[in-house]
Amino acid sequence: MQELSLNILDIAQNSVVAGASLIEIEIAAYGNDNNMLSIIIRDNGKGMDRQTLSNVTNPFFTSRTTRKVGLGIPLFKMAAEQTGGSFDISSTVGEGTVVKAVFDTSNIDCTPLGDVWDTVAILIQMNEDIDFVYTATRNGESFVCDTRQLKEIMEGAPLSDPMVVRWIKEFIEENQFEIFKRRY
C-alpha cells in the first residue's frame, strides 16, 4: 500500500466486520530521534481462534468467501519488517484483536504514514454505531480523539454530517501535527 494510513483503514475495517463496538488506533513516535513509529489497532470484536490467528499473516488465507486472498495484514507485516521493525497480532475469541506494527522511519524502505486524519474521519463517518479512539503520542505528549466525547460535544449532531466530518478531520490533523511536529 502507498500509505500506512491505508493499512490502518484495512485493519480497522476488519474490526468493523468482526462486530467491534470499540476500535482504538494508537500511533506513537519514540526513540532517540523519534525515528520509531508504533501503530496499534485494538478492537473488542469477536476475536479469532488459534487456527485462524496462525494463518492470518498468510496472503493466501482469508475468511472472506468473495475472494481467495487476504493481503491487508500480510502487507502491513511486510511494511513493518522491511524497515527493521516488527509485527505482532494477538486475539482472543469473544474479546477482540490487537495488531501492533513498529517501523523505523529513518529506513529508506519506510512507507509514509499518510493522512491518518482522513482515515479516522472516514471510519467515524461510515460507522456511526462504533466508537473510535484515536491517540497520537510523542515524548510524553498525547492527543486523543474519542467519538464518545465528540458525540457529547456535538449534542446529537450526527458524526456523519459532512460539516462535522470536516471539523473532525481538521481537528485531528492540527493536533497530530502539533504532537509530532512533523508529518511522517
Q: Which three cell numbers, joined as nine digits, stand for 153?
A: 460535544
Average pLDDT, consecutive stretches of 10 residues, N- to C-terminus, the chain (184 residues):
91 95 97 90 95 80 50 90 97 97 96 94 95 94 95 90 93 91 63
What's residue 183's pLDDT?
Answer: 56
What DSSP designation does 108 have?
T
CATH classification number, 4-180, choose in 3.40.50.620, 3.40.640.10, 3.30.565.10, 3.30.70.2740 = 3.30.565.10
What's residue 61's pLDDT?
Answer: 56
Gap between the Cα atoms of 49 and 42, Å rounded:
16
The ranges assigned to domains in the chain are: 4-180
What's residue 82's pLDDT?
Answer: 96
What's residue 69's pLDDT?
Answer: 44
Amino acid at position 144, single letter? V
Q: What is the DSSP string of 120-175?
A: HHHHHHH-TTSEEEEEEEETTEEEEEEHHHHHHHTTT--TTSHHHHHHHHHHHHHH
Are 5 and 37 in contact, with CB atoms under 8 Å apart?
Answer: no
Other beta carbons within 10 angstroms of residue 166's beta carbon come to: 11
